[in-house]
Each structure stands twice: as C-alpha cells, then as structure tokens.
Amino acid sequence: MKGNTITRAHLAEAVYQEVGLSRNESAELVDTVLDEVSNALVRGESVKISSFGSFLVRMKGERIGRNPKTGEEVPIKPRRVLVFRASHVLKDRVNKGAESKVPDNQGADRQS
Amino acid sequence: MTKSELILRIGELNPHLYHRDVERIVTAIFEEITAALARQDRVELRGFGAFSVKQRDARKGRNPRTGETVAVEEKVVPFFKTGKELRDRLNNRAEAAPRPAAAPAAAPLPGQPGKEPGSGQ
C-alpha cells in the first residue's frame, strides 16, 4: 500500500534472503554497494544499472537565485548535481504496479 | 560504471564470495528498490538518496513531428532525490570521506576495474 518506507535494513533483509550470509554481512554488503556507486559518481563517472536506470553527474552553471523569504538575490555557485534516469523496465514496473487492480488482459493495454 | 563493473568491484572487495553470489546480491538490491516503487513505496537510503514515485495527471500532449494533439494518460513516474551527504561529496564539501571502502583488498586496485569483454550480461 501507499505510504510505506523502505530503508537500508529492508535491502539488507532482501540480500539475507537471497544468499546464505549473516544478517550482519548482508547489511555491510548493502552499504558497500551504495558506497561504490557513490564513489564512482563522486569521481564524475556515471553509473548505469541495466533494467533499473542511470545515475548521471551534471554540471550546473552559476546563476542568480533568490532567498524566497527575504527576496534577496544571492549568487548560486556552479555545482555538480546528480540526476537519475529510470530505465524503461523500471518505468513499466512502476506503472504496472499502479494498475494492478485492472484485470490482466495483455495485449490491449500495451503501450510506452 | 555499469552493473557488471559494479559487481566486479564488489567481488574484489569481498574475495570470499562467489562471483555468482555477488551478482545475486547486487541484483537483489536493485530488484528490492524496484519492487518497492512498483508498490508505490518510498525507498530512503540515508546518505545516498531517496527513491519515490510521482503521480502525473493525464494531459493533452502533442506529437512534435506532426503537431497532432494526443491524449497522454495519467501515469506514475519514478523519482530520485540525492541525499545530503552525497550532494555535498559531489561538490567536495564534507571531505570527511564517509568510509574508506578498502577493507579487505586494500592492495592493488587502481579504482577503475578494467573493461570486461562481453560485460553486457
């Protein structure tokens, strides 16, 4: 249902169920995987996970921002931001999940 | 870095694991995130970021080539928001390196696993 939040602990549990490792080691592996993805991104590499999506590092130029509270103009320095582009597989799964109440008649509702 | 390069790297850091198991572990992690998003759950990974889904209303779109108006149905799209720690690291703030990921195999890794022939899995 809507409103649940999945955390590192849930991912560790999934790893634990999948492979015969201890819970502790499963949790460490989740951390290692996320760290290695982060490290690659910090080096400026993009990270492409097939059938999930890509993490891309983009450079943003300097621009003038505004403090919404005071209206004061402040320069926003050039910076690197991370963007995530979901793969089609992920987009499709997310939409199928949302429509799962609809009876399953394949073929008729195939799109995107 | 691709998924197979990530798997190689995790294998290098965990030489006691079978390659096949490392593959299953990495796959399980992304599969769990995918399944959560398919249930419209949120995935919050402290220090890394948060995945969620956003509802997009139905709208009238336009075929950019023909100019023809088409109906776009409402849909759900995956969304990722970068976590604070990672955002700071991308901009060299917080130089307190979060965790030196070199525990067991601290020796000969030049950071970049070589490209594998046929790493497309």
Topology of domain A55-99 in CATH is HU Protein; Chain A (4.10.520)
What's the pLDDT score for residue B43? 98
Contact A5 B37 (CB under 8 A): no
Confidence of residue B88 (pLDDT cuts 50, 70, 90): very high
What's the pLDDT score for residue B19? 96
Confidence of residue B93 (pLDDT cuts 50, 70, 90): confident
Q: Tell me the domain boundaries of chain B.
A: 1-39, 41-86
CA atoms within 13 A on the CB side of B106: 3
Contact B87 A82 (CB under 8 A): yes
Q: What is the pLDDT of residues A86-110, one digit of tens each?
A: 999 999 999 986 555 444 444 444 4
Tokens coding A106: 């394949």
Confidence of residue B23 (pLDDT cuts 50, 70, 90): very high
Residue A42 is nearest to which of B42, B44, B90, comparing CB atoms?
B90
What's the pLDDT score for residue B120? 41
Average of per-residue pLDDT across B37-63 = 95
d(CA B6, CA A49): 9
Contact B37 A90 (CB under 8 A): yes
Q: Tell me the domain boundaries of chain A.
A: 7-43, 55-99
- Superfamily, domain B41-86: IHF-like DNA-binding proteins (4.10.520.10)
Is this complex scored with an ipTM above 0.90?
no
